[in-house]
Every structure is written in structure tokens, then in C-alpha cells.
Amino acid sequence: MEIKNTLTLSSFAAVAVLISACASSGVKNPSGVPVTEMKGDERGFVAGTGVESQDLVAVADKMARSILNVPQIANAQGTPRIALDPVMNETRFPINKDIFLTRIRTQLNSKSQGKVIFLARERMAALERERQLKQSGQVTSSSDPKLVEFKGADFLLTGKLQGLTTKTAAGTSDYVLYSFQLIDTRTTDIIWEDSAEIKKQGLEDAAYR
């Protein structure tokens, strides 16, 4: 009887071992490591991933606040006009380049209380067509359509995204530097520049390594 009990227990123990055994023994972090957002100057435990909405919001908000403190904007006599020049993407992440400037523009428009005016340069084709219609008399005009009233930009707002990537057996790390500039179009002076940096890192599941 004792032998029978022992054998039964042994069988169950063997089954338990068989079922609970894991084929990924000996593999480091088999379940992967979740993405962790870190400060740019923080030392990471592996390496990172792409540009996401939270980065856009954080970077654009920081830039918008910073621009409002520029003396040429804060103490301007008239209302400075700003044109946007597409951001240059030098990272490994394909992005919608206009989205950063759009976010900065909307932030400034909502918080600057008219301190700056943005020019709708990306709508120039449609605006020129409308002006031609007015000039040709095909549509009405509330002012002399022959006068050049399209405003020139006092400043050009632009930026650049640059990245550094590391990929090792320990994971992938991406550092992205977002830098923006406000350039005086008359003098080419860079009257303001600021940057933000984000570093991310993670490790995929062993099944994908």
C-alpha cells in the first residue's frame, strides 16, 4: 500500500514538473522588458523606441512656453509674424514632420493672447488662387485686389529631430533630440533656440530575438 501511495505521489509530482517546466530556461528576460520612459540624461538599462504622442505633447509644450519668453516676442512693438518651415527628420523614425510645428503653433495661438501671428504659408496655393479670382474680377473683393497684402514673415520657426540608436542583445535604445529655432528672416539671426531630449529603451520577447 505504501509503495502504491509513493508511486501515485511520484507520478503526480512528475506530471507537475513536466507541465510547469519552461523551455526558455537559460534565456535572460524571456518575457521581455516593458518600455520605460526616461529622462534624456538618465542612464538607461538597455536601449529605446520611437517618437510617440506623449513626446510630441511634452516637447511642443516646452517649446511654446520657451518661445513666449523670448524678449523679441514678449517686448515686440508690433505683432511679430511667424512662418513655419518643416522640421528636418534625421532620426530612424518616419514621422509626420508637420505635427510638431502644428502643436507648437496651436499652443502659442491659444496661450500667447495675440502676441504672435502665424502665417498660413502651407495654404499659399489656395490663397493665391483666391487672389487671382479677385484680381480677375470673377469674385468680389472687400479691398483693392491689386495691392500686395500677403504678409512677410518676421520670424521663421523650424526644427530638427536627431537620433542615436543602440541595439544589442540587451535591447534597443533610442535617444531623440528635438531642437527648434526661431530665425529672424531679415538678419538670419537665430533669436531663440531650445531643445528637448527623450530616451527610451526596451527588450522584445525572446521569441522575437
Does the protein bind other proteins through residue 14 (CB under 8 A)? Answer: yes
Least separation in angstroms between residue 62's CB and other proteins is 23
Query: Which one of 8, 69, 106, 132 is in contact with other proteins (CB under 8 A)?
Result: 8
Does the protein bind other proteins through residue 22 (CB under 8 A)? Answer: yes
81/97 with CB nearer other proteins: 97
Return phi, psi of residue 36, to 5°: -125, 125
DSSP 26: T
C-alpha distances out from residue 146 to 17, 44, 86, 131, 139, Å: 88, 60, 30, 9, 14
Q: Is residue 36 within 8 Å of 200, Cβ to Cβ?
A: yes
Positive or negative, the CA dihedral 178, 184, 188, 192 is: negative
Does the protein bind other proteins through residue 53 (CB under 8 A)? Answer: no
Least separation in angstroms between residue 40's CB and other proteins is 19
- Part in contact with other proteins (CB under 8 A); list of ranges 19-27, 75-83, 124-132, 186-194: 19-27
26/78 with CB nearer other proteins: 26
Does the protein bind other proteins through residue 45 (CB under 8 A)? Answer: no
Of 124, 193, 198, nearest to 159 by C-alpha is 193
Query: Which one of 119, 156, 177, 206 is in contact with other proteins (CB under 8 A)?
Result: 206
Q: Which residue has the cell 524571456?
A: 30
Does the protein bind other proteins through residue 125 (CB under 8 A)? Answer: no
Does the protein bind other proteins through residue 169 (CB under 8 A)? Answer: yes
C-alpha distances out from residue 120 to 127, 141, 150, Å: 9, 20, 10
Query: Which one of 59, 154, 172, 175 is in contact with other proteins (CB under 8 A)?
Result: 172
* Residues of this chain, 94-123, that bind other proteins according to CB under 8 A: 94-95, 97
69: three-class secondary structure by DSSP: coil
Of 198, 178, 193, nearest to 60 by C-alpha is 178
165/185 with CB nearer other proteins: 165
140: three-class secondary structure by DSSP: coil
Name the site residues for other proteins (rule: CB under 8 A).
Answer: 3-4, 7-8, 10-11, 14-15, 18-19, 21-27, 30-35, 49-50, 88-95, 97, 165, 167-169, 171-172, 202-209
